[in-house]
Amino acid sequence: MNIQNISAVIFDLDGTLIDSLPDLAASANRVRRLYQMQELPIEKIRNYIGDGMRTLIHRTLTDSREGKNEELIEEALAEHAKYYSEHLLDKTVLFPNTENTVKSIIKKGLQVSLVTNKPEKNARKILEYFGIAELFTAIHGGDTLPKRKPNPDLLLLACEKMQVQPENTLMIGDSENDFLAARGANCKIIFANYGYGKKEYLPAEPDAEISDISELLQFI
């Protein structure tokens, strides 16, 4: 794979650094129960993660990846946001090898940042809980700027804060939004196939693919 001259790495969060599926699914299914809907299997909700909280709740309410429920969305979203913010660390864990890999990248002289569509406050809370928040030069969430991934602005902001060029920056993520944001920012992109997204959703081939975060070190 042609990945060269990398001076910084930007990580996605859900499905890339953390396995948050149990807590996201519990909150999403709680929303369905509020409207007397049957709970969805956790693997189905796994397929609905990656495009931000609003889209997750639209998909959860309609049980469709392309579905929308404009009638219930605002109330349901408020319920999910409140409950999830209080329970986002009940069962969430770091993926294996995450902390050591991030520290190894930094030891090699590279900076790392985080860009997620999760609200910035929640992202910071999770990273602080696992004791790794201080490793990241920038932590940006879906509400940091007016636009979130797949818009490239958050990645460009992270590059600016790290004082690196986007073409020398590597994005690691598990979703189509990560791919599109990286391409839009002119960053390299590695697909984390152990996460929640499916490679078939990507519009083109990534620069590389990993099945464990530790495999990232071979490209640094």
Length of the chain: 220
Amino acid identity of 28? A
Torsion of Cα atoms, 104 then 126 then 211 then 198, to 10°: -150
12 given a catalytic annotation:
yes
Distance CA 177, CA 197 (A): 10
Contact 72, 35 (CB under 8 A): yes
Contact 152, 181 (CB under 8 A): yes
Catalytic residue among 12, 19, 51, 178: 12
For 13-68, strand residue ranges (E) read 18-19
Contact 155, 169 (CB under 8 A): yes
| Strands 18-19 and 93-94, bridge-based pairing | antiparallel
Distance CA 86, CA 73 (A): 20
Please give the positions annotated as active site: 12
